[in-house]
Chain A
Amino acid sequence: MNDILVLKNVQKKYKETAVVKDLSLNIKKGEVFALLGANGAGKTTTIKMILGFAKASSGDIEIEDGAKIGYSPETPYFPEYLTAMEVMNYYAGIEGDKAKKDKAYLRSLLEVTGLEDSKIKVKNYSKGMIQRLALAQALISDPDILILDEPTAGLDALGRKHNLELLKKLKEQGKTVIINSHILHDIEAVCDRGVIMRKGEVLDTWTKDESDESLEDKFIRLVGEE
C-alpha cells in the first residue's frame, strides 16, 4: 500500500514550549489510523497541522497529490437556525463543486449517517445528531482522507455502533481514516494501526491483533507511567 500522508520529524512549538516533538508518521492509503493519548498529548495539534490550520515549527507534512480531506471536529457547531439539508447545502456551496450541491446526493449522505432531510432546525438536535451531521458534512467532497476528531463522543450505544459500522463501510470503500479518540474500545473495533502519544511524543505504535495485550492495557501501561 502507498503512503497517502507522511509526517517527517514534525515539531510544533508555542513560544518555547514544544507540544509536538519530532513526530514521524506514515499513513497508508485505505487504512484506519488512530492517534491515541491523554489530554495534552498533541493529537489535536497534529490534526490541525495536517489540515493546515496550524503551521509546523519544523519538519514536513506530505499529502498525496490531489488527495481530498474531509474533517469532522471534536466539538462541531452548525448554525442553529439551519436544517441539516441547509447545512449540507452551505458547505457543498463552499466546496465550489456544483455536482456536490445535488439534493439527492446530499440527502444520501445524511441518510448514510442516520439523519434525514427534515424541517427540524439544528438547534433542536441532540449532541449525537450533531455528531452525525459533522460526519455527513465531512463526506461532501467524497474525500480520500477523513479526519475524525472524537467521532463517537457524546453518542449513545446505538449511535456509536452506527458510526463504527459506517467507518467500516468507508474503509471498505478505500477511504483513509484518521481518528482521534479516547474511546479505546472503538479504536480496537475499527482501526488497523495507531500511535500512542504523550506530551507531544510517540511512546509506541499499536497494530491490531499484534499481541495478546489489549489496547486499553497497553495504553494504561504506557500513558500511566510518569
Chain B
Amino acid sequence: MEIVLNVVREKIRRKMLYITTILGILVVAIFSTGTGTLTVGGKSMNDYYVLVPILINVLNFLNGAIALAISCSTIPQEYERRTSHLIWSRGVSQSRYHMSLAAGNVLVSWISGVILYLTLGVFAVVNGYSEMLGRIAVASLFMMLYAACICMLTSALSIKIPTLFTGTIMVIILVCGALRSALNLMTAALTGFGGAVIKRAVLLIPNLAGISTQAGNLVQERPVNVHVIIMGLIVIWIAGLLVITLRREEA
C-alpha cells in the first residue's frame, strides 16, 4: 500500500492533478458557456441532454490520455532511478512491486477522472440540470473501467518495452480498437494465410473506446452493451496477470 500511495503522492506533488482540474474546467466551460460553438448536423448543441454525452466522451478521452501518459513512465522511471533496489532489499517481490505501481497508476487516473466528472457535475447543476447528476455518477464508473484498462495494459507493456514504444503501441491499440469495425471491413477481402492472421489479429484488439461510448449511452438512456464491459474486465484481468508475471532480469 505504501508504494501505491507514493505513486499518488508523486503525481499530486508534481502538480499532475492540478493540470487535470484546469483541463476539466476549461473543456466543460468552453462547451457549456457557448464560447465554443458546437454544432452537429447544423443543430446547436446547447441542450445539456445532448451536450453531456459528448462531454463525457471528451473527458474520457482526456482522462485516457492522462492514464496513458502516467502509466508509460512510472515503472521504467523506478528502474532508471534504481529505487527498485531499495524496495527489493526489503523483501518486496517484483510481482508485488509491479502490481503496486500499476495500482498506483490506476488510482491516479481515477482521481483525475473523478475531478473531470466533478467539474461536469458542477456545471450541470449551475446550468439547472441537477437531475442528471445520478447518471453522470454512474457514467463515471465506465470512465474508471476505461482508465483502469489503459493503466493496466500500459503498465504491463512498460515492464519490458521502452517508454516511447509503450506509448506508441498503446495509441495503436486504442485507435485500431476504436476503428475495429472499419478494419474488419477492410480485412474481409484478404485471403491466404497472411490474410487469416491479420483478420484474427484485428479480432483480438480490444475496443477500449467502446467502454467510453457506453458511458454516453447510459446518460442518454440508450441500451448499454454489456459485452464491452465484460471485455474491459477481461482486459484488466489479462493485463494484471502480465503485470504479475513479467519480470525484469536485473536493474
Binding site for B on A (CB under 8 A): 48, 51-54, 69-71, 73, 75-79, 81-82, 90-91, 93-95, 137, 141
Contact = CB atoms under 8 A, between A and B. Distances in A.
Contacts of B13: 81
Contacts of B86: 71, 73, 76, 91, 137
A94 B88 contact: no
Given A48-B250, A54-B250, A77-B81, A69 B2 contact: no
Contact of A94 (B81, B90, B250, B251): B90
B87 interface: yes
B6 interface: yes
A93 B2 CA distance: 6
B6 A79 contact: yes
Given A53-B88, A73-B86, A81 B81 contact: no
Interface of B: 1-3, 6, 9-10, 13-14, 81-83, 85-90, 92, 250-251
Contact of A53 (B2, B9, B14, B85): B85
A91 B88 CA distance: 11
Contacts of A76: 86
Main secondary structure of the interface of B (DSSP, over half): helix
Given A79-B10, A81-B14, A95 B89 contact: no
Nearest to B85: A73
A91 B250 contact: no
Contacts of B6: 79, 90
A136 to B, nearest CB: 12
B4 to A, nearest CB: 11
A71 B85 contact: yes
Contacts of B83: 77-79
From B3, B87, B250, residue with most partner A Cβ within 10 Å: B250
A51 B88 contact: yes
Can you list the 3 inter-chain pairs with the closest CB atoms, starting with the nearest? A93-B2, A81-B13, A77-B81
Given A79-B83, A94-B3, 17 more contacts: A51-B85, A51-B88, A52-B88, A53-B88, A54-B250, A71-B85, A71-B86, A71-B89, A73-B82, A75-B82, A77-B82, A79-B9, A81-B10, A90-B2, A93-B1, A137-B86, A141-B90
Contacts of B3: 94
Contacts of A51: 85, 88-89
A94 B85 contact: no
A73 B85 CA distance: 8
A51 B250 CA distance: 12
